[in-house]
A and B are shown apart, each in its own frame.
Chain A
Amino acid sequence: METQKTWKKKPRIKNVFLRYGLLVLILAYLIIAGSEINIDPARIAKGWSRMGSLFSGFFHPDFSSRGKYIVIGVFESLTMTILSSLLSTFLSIPIALGSSRNLVPKWVYLICRTLLMLIRSFHAVVMGIIFVIMFGYGPFAGVITLMLNSIGFIGKLLAEDIENISSEQIEAIKATGANWFQVVAYGVWPQISTRFIGLSIYRADISFRQSTVIGIVGAGGIGTVLNTAMNRYDYNTAGAILLVIIVLVLVTEYISSNVRRRIV
């Protein structure tokens, strides 16, 4: 047998038209969309001159002149995180149970899943804007925003866990003649409780991060103070706030991952 002299790697997409068509489409999109990005050199040049004062602001942070507001802002972010985490921890359980195909009738499942999808599709800031209009400026709107966001997060992940638990244990409990609540308490809960606590802590960590930005739209927290400082070109205070945020985010992340490791 004559040995072959050529070899080509088999392409991932076999259809030639599809393969090159996709490539052309992607390139065309990038070119069209890319051409719409206006980069204004004059404006950037102006901005660069600010770069110096911005950087010097970050390297000479000013904690004192607006110190009171920073402390209040941080405190507000923390309290918003605590309250919203507590509320969402309780409220996410029923919606997670309702979103588990193996536990509830189909119509309940569909309603709960739709609710989850709605909540999850909107960024915290979008919710923040709406709740600020409804409840007025301040941390109350923030708490509601963070709470809903957390419910969406914990609810979805917990529901996925519940759908993956072993059905044998549930059947065993059912076989004893237990009612629905007893099945959940003895068959489902023991299998997901550790994961649920882990999720809640992880989510509290995320909530704290979000609490730093929803203030930009008026929903309370350190973000409000940062926004004010930036609008006043007060880079020294902004630098101080950013440092505080970075440190706090790292600390909460550290605590949250340590606690989660201990539980598991």
Chain B
Amino acid sequence: MIEIRDLKKKYPSGQEALKGVNLEVHNNEVIALIGPSGAGKSTLIRCINRLVEPTSGQVLIDGKDITSLNTSELRKQRKKIGMIFQEYALVDRLTVMENVLSGRLGYTGFWKSLFRKFPSEDISKAYALLERVGLSDYVDSRADQLSGGQRQRVGIARALMQDPTLLLVDEPTASLDPKTSRQVMRLIIELVQEHKLACIINIHDVILAKQFAQRIIGLQAGQVVYEGKSDDLDTNVLTKIYGEEDWNVKKKDSNSDDSEEDDAQDIFSLGEK
């Protein structure tokens, strides 16, 4: 259970990325954060594991306030929070196996990790995960030799290596083609269900959000402007989140002369097939 209370973030440049966000995520729940670029989605997600230090407010995970932790307590907490990135964020020159094992760094001592001496449970877990994401043949390949979809699978395996209770996912599909995007999203959701995780997904793609998340949070200019079940997401809501003008631009793109409602319906039905 994650509770975010009045979370604010102001960057040194003066930009106010978050202006008091309140949010709850329950166990086993997948929520999607949608909103225009620059709405603060990435900042919000990074405030949860403090890759970005919040300016004020609280992030409570199972009642414990993340924002008040000292460095070593924070590291302990981070172990339990897996993260998946837009550009995969793999270490290119390390092998797939090393990248996956790096998910265990929080659990492993410095010297052991330096000489790649991970416990055998970790190794067999890594093999199992790599098999689960379909990369058994690439264990000793270097990460930069893989395709985008494969790289993201490595990223997923790395996040799950941490035995997380919460999964933060930042634009997992923005660098992938539509087909691979759906495969990757499906994989993430399956794994989240298998491991009974809470999951927050930042996502640009409204269709994918609607299809894969149970609940949708709309963020705009650093504030939550919508919160509701994914089935309730309609054009009015999108207008609210993305703004009238933006939404109209989107509509024109879909080269249809029908009414707003029908047009939007079209987009959504795509996602439900």
Give A residues with C-beta under 8 Å from B: 3-10
In the complex the two chains form, what is the Cα distance from A184 to B248 in whole Å? 59
B contact face: mostly helix, strand, loop, or mixed: helix
Contact of A3 among B97, B116, B128 (CB under 8 A): B128
Chain B: how many interface residues by the 8 Å CB criterion? 15
B120 adjacent to A8 (CB under 8 Å):
no
B124 adjacent to A3 (CB under 8 Å):
yes
A8 adjacent to B116 (CB under 8 Å):
yes
From B95, B120, B127, B140, residue with most partner A Cβ within 10 Å: B127
A9 adjacent to B127 (CB under 8 Å):
no
User: Would you mind naming 6 contact pairs between A and B with Cβ atoms under 8 Å apart?
Assistant: A3-B127, A3-B131, A5-B120, A7-B123, A9-B116, A10-B140
In the complex the two chains form, what is the Cα distance from A9 to B123 in whole Å? 12
Give B residues with C-beta under 8 Å from A: 95, 97-98, 101, 116, 118, 120, 123-124, 126-128, 131, 139-140
A6 adjacent to B95 (CB under 8 Å):
no
Given A3-B128, A3-B131, A4-B127, A10 and B120 touching (CB < 8 A)?
no
CB-CB under 8 A from B118, the residues of chain A are: 7
A contact face: mostly helix, strand, loop, or mixed: loop
CB-CB under 8 A from B116, the residues of chain A are: 8-9
Given contacts A3-B127, A4-B124, A7-B118, list 15 more A-B pairs with CB under 8 A: A3-B131, A5-B120, A5-B123, A5-B124, A6-B120, A6-B123, A7-B97, A7-B101, A7-B123, A7-B127, A8-B116, A9-B95, A9-B97, A9-B98, A10-B95
CB-CB under 8 A from A10, the residues of chain B are: 95, 140
B136 (CB) vs chain A CBs: closest residue: A1
Nearest Cβ distance between residue B101 and chain A, in whole angstroms? 8
B101 (CB) vs chain A CBs: closest residue: A7
In the complex the two chains form, what is the Cα distance from A91 to B248 in whole Å? 67
Nearest Cβ distance between residue A4 and chain B, in whole angstroms? 5
CB-CB under 8 A from B120, the residues of chain A are: 5-6
A9 (CB) vs chain B CBs: closest residue: B116
